[in-house]
Structure 1
Amino acid sequence: MTNRITSLFNIEYPIIQAGMIWASGWKLASAVSNAGGLGLLGAGSMYPDIFREHVRQCKAATSNPFGVNIPLLYPDIDKHIEIILEEKVPVVFSSAGNPKTWTKLLKDNGVRVVHVVSSSKFARKAEDAGCDAVVAEGFEAGGHNGREETTSLVLIPAVKAAVSIPVIAAGGIATGRQMLAAMVLGAEGVQMGSRFVASQEASSHQAFKQAVLDSVEGDTVLTMKQLTPVRLIRNAFYQQVMDAEQRGASPEELKTLLGRGRAKKGMFEGNMEEGELEIGQVSALVHDILPAGEIVKKVWQEFSEALGNPIGKL
């Protein structure tokens, strides 16, 4: 397939691996890029020196394009931007902040810039800032989420109608049929996170990967809406948060409860009770841990088969 997304990134398939914290290191990103998709490093969980090392390892492991995902509110964002420019990273996906801050500098240096949005309003702002594309991320997505709670089925066509730049769909996508549905709604590519957490190359802890496989519908909940909304698997930490919110805890109390390193403790170190376990609703459809390249090929095959027989067996 050739469309605006494959042309923009010079990739074979319009399949993008989300830059998830504690899961998306150089092994995962390079494997996805080598398979014809676009792999992203998750810079949000990397100190600058670690980030530079992952960029260099990824460059050594693939000759294909790859990118990085950077939360714009990250405290060392200026150092990360400097590394991106020095190492000539070709693609940046930004999130959680104002895209106007860094987009012009990045584009002036030849970087393709994509911003993650949860509403048509923010999609228009990203287009006005000069972004090359937007990711329309629905309420179903894992990790930090928009406050609007708009589902992908509504968000994708709304964003498509609001902007002229290409739209990448995210949130609730792990199969080729879901990819086809997103494309029918107006997307020109998809970004998948939860499906790639359950890959052999993901740096997340094996216990967390198993928790993803074990999850069923209703096991994830969008919580911490007073701070930054985040979708989590239900566990002891989640229950502490819910109890605090139900008794009317202030944002300051919730920040104290959250503390530091909760996501690392859960997703990277494997503490399934006290850690923060970020994953999307689509984890209920993920049943195996596969090589990342095989995931790309499988999703593309499912998409192609569904495209030829859209009302066939689900």
Structure 2
Amino acid sequence: MEFSNRVTQLFGVKYPIIQAGMIWASGWRLASAVSNAGGLGLLGAGSMYPEVLREHIRKCKAATSRPFGVNVPLLYPDIEVLMKVITDEKVPVVFTSAGNPKTWTKQLKDEGVTVVHVVSSSLFAAKAAAAGCDAVVAEGFEAGGHNGREETTTMVLIPAVRDAVDIPVIAAGGIATGKQMLAAMALGADGVQVGSRFVCTPEASSHAAFKEAIIQAKEGDTQLSMKKTVPVRLLKNEFFKEVSEAESRGASAEELQQLLGRGRAKKGMFEGDMAAGELEIGQVSALISQVKPAADVVSEIWQEFLETGRAWSRL
């Protein structure tokens, strides 16, 4: 069945399924595998030095002839150098997050780049549209990693953002199955961005111990943390308990930042320290039960989306 909508047309992909550009997980192997399967793969630039990103872009180009993109947190310290690598290498799509979309959208679009911004509220979605973004990712409270302080869930956020903007809306946060994709699109989304489910793939560069911890996770095993600094959803472990205890006694943002330190996310998600590492993952980890190839994940989400849609149409 041929499928076409605003998201597939915008990116030139077969399915409106985007793999999130997650730190320490989304390298060229994962991004190219998702793109080859018909979705849009994204490289996670947040955990890459500029020359490392250049290497991943070139390897991704060699591994797929299909569109792919890069996710760039705008708080990245060497953002100018990172953006120059992206434009020099002629990356077709950039997803920006954690910052003001006005800062880079025009420069990127002047270079012919399709620009999407990640938002956590309808207010920020409207600002992204006004800045000239081609689409927005509306990411609900369920999502892993960095998150909005408002704690707006995906089910509330998607229709609110849909009412606020005319550009394509990509739903994110708590989506790992075709049924969830159908629900998001019923709420007004034009496509979905999937993060946590793609962490548990052989192509993801995250550590095997982290993937196993995700598989073992149950409901309630993640929680939004570090709200005084940059809110982030974490899998509960010894580091999370330290942060939680510090927050309970009213620790300042400076103290929390000192506790976080440097390289904490790398220690957990990439190096496999399940006690002292920062383990960023979404609530939907409770529904993930095995590691399987990225192409299978894309196929299963799409087939379940179609099958569930047909079942509901009969009602």
Query: Match of 1:246?
Result: 248
Q: For residue 76 of structure 1, report the CA deviation from its aligned partner.
A: 1.0
Query: Match of 1:191?
Result: 193
Of 167, 179, 186, which aligns to 2:181? 179
1:83 has 2:54 as partner: no
Query: Match of 2:8?
Result: 6
Cα distance in 2, alignment partners of residues 253 and 109 from structure 1: 41
Q: For residue 9 of structure 1, report the CA deviation from its aligned partner.
A: 0.2
Q: How does 1:198-213 map to 2 (within 5 A)?
A: 198-213=200-215
Query: Match of 1:134?
Result: 136
Cα distance in 2, alignment partners of residues 186 and 243 from structure 1: 39
SS at match of 1:310: helix
SS at match of 1:301: helix
Residue identity in the other structure for 1:114: V
Cα distance in 2, alignment partners of residues 310 and 294 from structure 1: 24
Of 18, 27, 30, which aligns to 2:29? 27
SS at match of 1:309: helix
Q: For residue 311 of structure 1, report the CA deviation from its aligned partner.
A: 8.6
Of 216, 224, 227, which aligns to 2:226? 224
Cα distance in 1, alignment partners of residues 170 and 117 from structure 2: 10
1:150 has 2:157 as partner: no
Of 45, 48, 51, which aligns to 1:46? 48
Residue identity in the other structure for 1:96: A
TM-score calculated relative to the size of structure 1: 0.99
Q: For residue 310 of structure 1, report the CA deviation from its aligned partner.
A: 2.7
Cα distance in 1, alignment partners of residues 44 and 269 from structure 2: 13
Query: Match of 1:258?
Result: 260
Query: Match of 2:117?
Result: 115
TM-score calculated relative to the size of structure 2: 0.98
Counting matched residue pairs gives: 312
Cα distance in 1, alignment partners of residues 262 and 93 from structure 2: 29
Of 298, 301, 304, which aligns to 1:299? 301
Residue identity in the other structure for 2:88: E
Cα distance in 2, alignment partners of residues 76 and 292 from structure 1: 30
Of 163, 166, 169, which aligns to 1:167? 169
SS at match of 2:198: helix
Note closer, same or farther for the CA distance 1:137–1:109 as it changes in structure 2 (3 Å cut): same
Residue identity in the other structure for 1:120: S
Note closer, same or farther for the CA distance 1:311–1:265 as it changes in structure 2 (3 Å cut): farther
1:310 has 2:309 as partner: no
**What are structure 1's unaligned runs of at least 5 residues?**
none
Cα distance in 2, alignment partners of residues 224 and 311 from structure 1: 43
Q: For residue 248 of structure 1, report the CA deviation from its aligned partner.
A: 1.0
- Aligned residues with identical type, % of pairs: 71
Cα distance in 2, alignment partners of residues 264 and 109 from structure 1: 32
Residue identity in the other structure for 1:240: E
**What are structure 2's unaligned runs of at least 5 residues?**
none
Cα distance in 2, alignment partners of residues 90 and 21 from structure 1: 20
Residue identity in the other structure for 1:243: E
Cα distance in 2, alignment partners of residues 283 and 39 from structure 1: 20
**Cα RMSD over matched residues?**
0.8
